[in-house]
């Protein structure tokens, strides 16, 4: 086990979950947040047509310039964001400076742009961290041009594109037979499908939490509800704008998009609508769960108050009898009777027993 996994519980802000709130809300687009250049940049090229596949790793971005117009479809995957390298690629492949600014920026809203025969998609890949039980995101930029697709990623250690790499190795596969627009569709489809894996993990956590609240809710349950609601905010923030992104591609009349590929983008649109609806359902479930927790707390409080009220009522006769016979008067009935004490004690016991029977008959407890 990693020590960091347990060390975070000794940090007050981590324990209260306020650091996560800052991470979620710290996305002001007018704030100049400088991105540090990556220490290493990994460039991987997949150059293919229906008969051949050339897969190679490049030492620098300048080596990718040869793949611009070689009559093949080229996928240039760049892991690691470095402004100088992106500007070089943008200058050679005709990428607009505004798109370059979006690529190097952080905390951008998912969107689609068309500029100078370039179709640009910016969205986030989502991952579920099992250790912290949080939703993590990685910004990915997809640049579609004539017979090429360039992807820019932040983390070289993970992405969701491995199925594409495997399909490219299969001769005469649909991916190899189609153009760059179909490759772009495949990437968007895998990113959207990965959202469902994240939601499945959150769904499992929600189900476990619901059982916990029904069986034995406590303050920890309320903290878990608050944490899950924050993760659902992250999920919805990344899913909702992708609807507009895919819808914009479907409505586009860009010559880079083959009419035959439009139906595939419509399938991605159906998936993102389903993912959005599911995130809304999770949000409704969390609201209902919070209401359930509050109702359970109120129910427990009512039970406590009912028990205290019953005990108070049962002790009332004894209090009254003891108070009467404890008054400082010279003449009190049965004061000198040898059975007076027994009679008063018997009354103190019999009257509460009769009250218990009457309460149960009325169904009060």
pLDDT tens for each residue of 198-208: 999 999 988 88
Instruction: Band the pLDDT of 26: cuts 50, 70, 90.
Output: low
Torsion angle in degrees (nearest 10) through CA of 68, 73, 78, 79: -170
User: What b/e readout covers 171-195, taking b as 16+ CB neighbours within 10 angstroms?
Assistant: eeeebbebbbbbbbbbbbbbbbebb
More confident residue, 148 or 365: 148
Residues 140/125, Cβ–Cβ less than 8 Å: yes
**Measured at the alpha carbon of residue 41, what is the angle toward residues 37 and 42, in degrees to the nearest 5?**
160
Other C-beta atoms closer than 10 Å to the C-beta of 218 total 13
- At residue 197, the pLDDT reads 93
Q: Could you tell me the end-to-end alpha-carbon distance of the chain, in angstroms, rounded to an integer?
A: 50
pLDDT tens for each residue of 280-304: 999 898 888 888 888 888 888 888 8
More confident residue, 311 or 187: 187
329 CB-contact burial (10 Å; exposed 0-12 / middle 13-18 / buried 19+) = exposed
Residues 302-313 have a mean pLDDT of: 84
Pinpoint the alpha helices (H) of 38-107: 83-93, 97-104
Domains of the chain, earliest start first: 3-296 (3.30.460.20), 302-362 (1.20.58.340)
**Measured at the alpha carbon of residue 193, what is the angle toward residues 192 and 196, in degrees to the nearest 5?**
105
- At residue 292, the pLDDT reads 85
The residue among 191, 188, 162 whose CA lies nearest residue 257 is 188
How many angstroms separate the CA atoms of 47 and 44, rounded? 10
Q: Which of 184-188, 195-199, 343-347 is least confident?
A: 343-347
Instruction: Band the pLDDT of 130: cuts 50, 70, 90.
Output: confident
């Amino acid at each position: 086990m990693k020590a960091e996994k347990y060390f975070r519980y000794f940090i007050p802000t981590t324990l209260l979950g306020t650091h996560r709130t800052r991470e979620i809300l710290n996305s002001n687009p007018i704030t100049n947040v400088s991105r540090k250049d990556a220490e290493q940049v990994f460039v991987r090229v997949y150059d293919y047509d229906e008969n051949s596949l050339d897969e190679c790793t490049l030492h620098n971005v300048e080596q990718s310039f040869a793949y611009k117009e070689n009559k093949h479809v080229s996928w240039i995957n760049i892991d690691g964001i470095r402004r100088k390298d992106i500007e070089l690629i943008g200058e050679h492949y005709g990428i607009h400076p505004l798109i370059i600014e979006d690529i190097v920026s952080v905390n951008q809203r998912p969107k689609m742009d068309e500029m100078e025969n370039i179709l640009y998609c910016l969205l986030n890949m989502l991952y579920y961290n099992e250790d912290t039980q949080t939703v993590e995101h990685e910004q990915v930029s997809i640049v579609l041009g004539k017979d090429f697709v360039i992807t820019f990623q932040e983390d070289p250690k993970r992405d969701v594109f491995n199925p594409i790499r495997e399909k490219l190795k299969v001769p005469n596969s649909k991916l190899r037979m189609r153009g760059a627009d179909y490759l772009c569709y495949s990437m968007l489809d895998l990113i959207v499908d990965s959202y469902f894996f994240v939601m499945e993990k959150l769904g499992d956590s929600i189900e476990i939490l619901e059982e916990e609240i029904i069986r034995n809710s406590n303050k920890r349950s309320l903290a878990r509800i608050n944490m899950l609601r924050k993760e659902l905010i992250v999920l919805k923030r990344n899913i909702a704008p992708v609807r507009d992104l895919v819808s914009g591609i479907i409505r586009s009349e860009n010559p880079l998009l083959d009419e035959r590929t439009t139906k595939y983008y419509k399938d991605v649109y159906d998936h993102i609508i389903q993912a959005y609806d599911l995130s809304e359902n999770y949000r409704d479930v969390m609201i209902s769960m919070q209401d359930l927790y509050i109702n359970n707390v109120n129910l427990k409080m009512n039970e406590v108050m009912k028990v205290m009220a019953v005990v108070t009522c049962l002790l009332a006769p004894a209090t009254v009898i003891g108070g009467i016979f404890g008054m400082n008067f010279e003449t009190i009935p049965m004061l000198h009777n040898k059975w007076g004490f027994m009679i008063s004690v018997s009354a103190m016991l019999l009257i509460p027993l009769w009250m218990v029977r009457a309460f149960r008959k009325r169904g009060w407890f």
